[in-house]
Amino acid sequence: MTRERRRAISAGLIALGALLRLWQFFGRGSFWLDEAAVARNVTARSYRGLLAPLDYAQIAPKGFLFVEKLATTAFGTHDWVFRLWSILTALAALPLFYALARRVLDERGALLALGLFAVLGRPIYYASEAKQYGSDIFFACLLLLLALRVPAREAGTRHWLRLGVLGAVAVWFSQPSLFILAGVAIALALAVHQQKIPLRWPVITACVLWAVSGLPSIWLTLHSLRPTERVYMHSFWSDGFWPLPPRSLADAAWPFVNLYGLFRDPLGMPVTALGIGMFVLGCIVLGRRRPVTIVALVAPIAADFVAAALGIYPVDTTVRGFNRIAAGNGRVLLFLVPGLAIVVVAGVMALVESGIPWVHRVGLVAAAVVVGAPAFYAATELPYSPNDVAPLFRVLDARARPGDELYVYYGGRQAFEWYRDRVHVPDDRVARGGCYRTGWREYLREVDAFRGEGRLWLLVAHPASIHHVREMDDVVTPYLDRVARRVGRWGAKDAYLLLYDMRNASRPPGPPSAWHPPPRRLASADTITLGWSCMGVFPGPGIPGTVVRR
């Protein structure tokens, strides 16, 4: 392949990745719950205030929060301003990833890896979210790119100082950068042991810079939550902490389930078994040729699992169901995507470059599936905009009448408060619903308060499913359909409006247990036992802050 042809193909793939990210960025709708919570913290606080624990059970790197504050000060509090950091780092990650892939793979392999990275749904989706997860990918690419110069004996004094300073800065913008640096340190120890590099003062200086900056960032992160919120967060992410010693078969299977989930969730590979097989093959191939390199790419996974065993950072992948674009709880593991993608492609290329005809053909099929599936999803699913309440506000503005009541389901309260000026319903006609996991009859008590009042709008966003009971679809909506006349429904499954005429509403016949689920006993680990909101956003039932008009 000529240099001109390689440059043309790489430029085209980078342009494709940029277009997909910009398509998602400009097509993305309103904030969802966590984005609105971050935006409310940033706008309500000074720079100094952002150093304190955030409200609404949010946690984010302080550097990221400062960038958000700076952007809103300069350009205003528009939604796109809060997402500006994410899109800029996502676009910058494309050439960085290609440069990283070229350090590990040959020309064809690097182009295949770039093609995969360009169309992967997770990096595309998080390029348009006002959270830090997308920039985690950027810092992972940047740190690994500098670190992989080590075994090639290309690292001079300036390089080590640059890597030390960058690592010291990155931990304040991307918390998982600590795991990347831990992996680099392990690879560095191996390189020193194999006498690939001498242990001199620039190397030691870089490691000291990482420690001097990393330790305070760890301390500040661990103290970025109030005691109650810390318990809530630990409960929310409880499945992501490695249960040691194992006390059940599920505990023993935890590492294997989550290793499988790495390829299904943060990497977003629908044919997960194929991805795992190619990853194992890639580890073998790279381990024989470039042991220090494979350690730098894979060791962050091990460091992350150690942190999960210590209860510091969760490894909580989604293995059931498959969202083709957005990650589940694996969003906190997106920093592993660059390394995973490169090793998977190394395995694919080992088959493609085989001299055995049938193995070569298998490699071509594997390459087509690995890249083709996410490319198909990107072409058919983008722009992906879950929990989009903006169209619902336009419906309210056009159809609401004087005297109408509005009930805001608790999952939509953060977005509602952020966009409050867009909803032209007086405050005395708005009821902010409480959170009652799993005391579902409390929701019915709230909507029953509107019986005989006139028309009732229900604004629903981020509807929850608790213990396999969908709060709105299985509890509230069937109840209202039985007691009142439904006038209309607008929106999608994760953000919608319902309108009921409550003037002649009457109770359904029979005992309550005949028409809605009874309360259930809760496990001690359930978040409701903390006296905190199910979403960690507002105080729970019986705690001041849950406001219902009446």
Kindly give the confidence (pLDDT) of every residue in the chain, 550 residues in length, as a single tens digit, with 9 standing for 90 and above: 788 888 899 999 999 999 999 999 999 999 998 899 999 999 999 999 999 888 888 889 999 999 999 999 999 999 999 999 999 999 999 999 999 999 999 999 999 999 999 999 999 999 999 999 999 999 999 999 988 876 555 567 777 788 888 888 999 999 999 999 999 888 888 877 776 676 676 777 777 887 888 788 878 877 777 777 777 777 778 888 999 888 889 889 999 999 999 998 888 887 888 999 999 999 999 999 888 899 999 999 999 999 999 888 899 888 777 777 888 888 999 999 999 999 999 999 999 998 899 989 999 999 999 999 999 998 899 999 999 999 999 999 999 999 899 999 988 999 999 999 888 889 889 999 888 777 778 888 888 889 888 899 999 998 888 777 888 998 899 999 988 999 999 998 899 999 999 998 887 777 666 667 666 655 544 444 444 445 555 544 434 444 445 4
The 8-class DSSP code of residue 471 comes to I
What is the predicted pLDDT for the residue at 434?
A: 85
Which one, of 105, 169, 117, lies nearest residue 143 by Cα?
A: 169
Neighbours of 136 (CB within 10 A): 31
Please state the separation of Cα 134 from the chain's center in Å.
8
Q: Which two tokens stand for residue 270?
A: 């629908």
What is the predicted pLDDT for the residue at 285?
A: 94
What is the predicted pLDDT for the residue at 155?
A: 62
Using CA atoms, how far residue 319 sits from 167, 270, 492, in Å, is 32, 11, 24
End-to-end, the C-alpha distance of the chain in Å comes to 73
What is the predicted pLDDT for the residue at 468?
A: 76
CB 313 within 8 A of CB 222: no
Instruction: Spell out the domain ranges in the chain.
Output: 3-381, 390-530
- Amino acid of residue 399: R
3 state SS of 356 = coil
Q: E-strand spans in 197-266? A: none
Give the whole-angstrom CA distance, residue 208 versus residue 451: 67
Q: What b/e readout covers 307-343, taking b as 16+ CB neighbours within 10 angstroms?
A: bbeeeebbbbbbbeeebbbbbbbbbbbbbbbbbbbbb
Domain 390-530 -> CATH class: alpha beta
* Beta partners for residue 489, in sequence order: 498
Cβ-based neighbours of 90, under 8 Å, separated by 6 or more: 21, 123, 124, 126, 127, 134, 135, 137, 138
DSSP string, 319-362: -SS--SSS-SGGGGGGGGHHHHHHHHHHHHHHHHT-SSHHHHHH
Output phi, psi for 102, to 5 deg. -65, -25
CB 280 within 8 A of CB 347: yes
Cβ-based neighbours of 354, under 8 Å, separated by 6 or more: 360, 363
Give the whole-angstrom CA distance, residue 454 versus residue 213: 60
3 state SS of 223 = coil
